[in-house]
Amino acid sequence: MSVRNAHRSFGDLTVFTGVNVDVAPGRCCAVIGANGTGKSTLLGCVVGVDRLDEGVVEIHGVPVDESSPTLRRQVAAVLGDVATFAHLTAHEHLQLVATGHGVTDPFDAATQVLETVGLAASADRLPLTFSSGQRRRLALASALVRPRRLLVLDEPEQHLDDAGRRWLASTLEAEKRAGGTVLMVSHDVALVDAVADQVVEADRWS
């Protein structure tokens, strides 16, 4: 994943300018800094839900195009709350996500990822009944249940307790060992220290 000479502004407000980031497979890059420095905006540009005014984002050498099926197969992201259908259980929700991304056995994939994120006992519950921490784990499960080469996470530690944050660090380490690339925004110093191979300081962008 590569960001080159990225610039984004809203009217007269420059959010960031001259940003350059390269993250190789098997590595994690953490973007840190104060609120309002454009961290989440950059992630949105990386996954194609926002656009740079100048510069380019490439994933495996191909410029980002949110409408491209190839990009959607390569990038999994959690940028906020993940929408769920009110009448679907957690397991059914993950089956739907897996099916939409061409997973061969969606039922088995959903079962396995619920075990991975510690929600196996809640598989048949409606997400609306979940605690904030459980909803965060389900959001992460929605990214982990599908094929991906780049995992993009905006403050994935939100709403997780100490045990949940240790689980998250272990999960991201496993992602790297499998050859995946991780780009995340985080305010959790311990998480950054545990999993980040490189750190980008957003406070220096402006």
Give pLDDT tens digits for 29-56. Answer: 999 999 989 999 999 999 988 999 999 9
Cβ pair 79, 45 in contact under 8 A: no
Note the Cα 169 to chain centre separation in Å. 13
Residue 51 CA neighbour count, 13 Å, CB half:
5
User: What backbone phi and psi angles, to 5 degrees, belong to 10?
Assistant: -125, 105
Domain boundaries defined on the chain? 2-201
- pTM reported for the whole predicted model: 0.94
- CATH topology for the 2-201 domain: Rossmann fold (3.40.50)
What tens digit of pLDDT does each residue of 61-87 get? 888 877 777 777 889 999 988 889 889
| Segment 160-165 mean pLDDT | 92
- Joined together, the tokens standing for residue 168 give 């998250």
Give me the chain's average pLDDT, please.
Answer: 93
- Check whether 109 has a pLDDT greater than 70: yes
CA nearest 184: which of 76, 31, 74?
Answer: 31
Residue 82: per-residue pLDDT: 84
- Check whether 206 has a pLDDT greater than 70: no
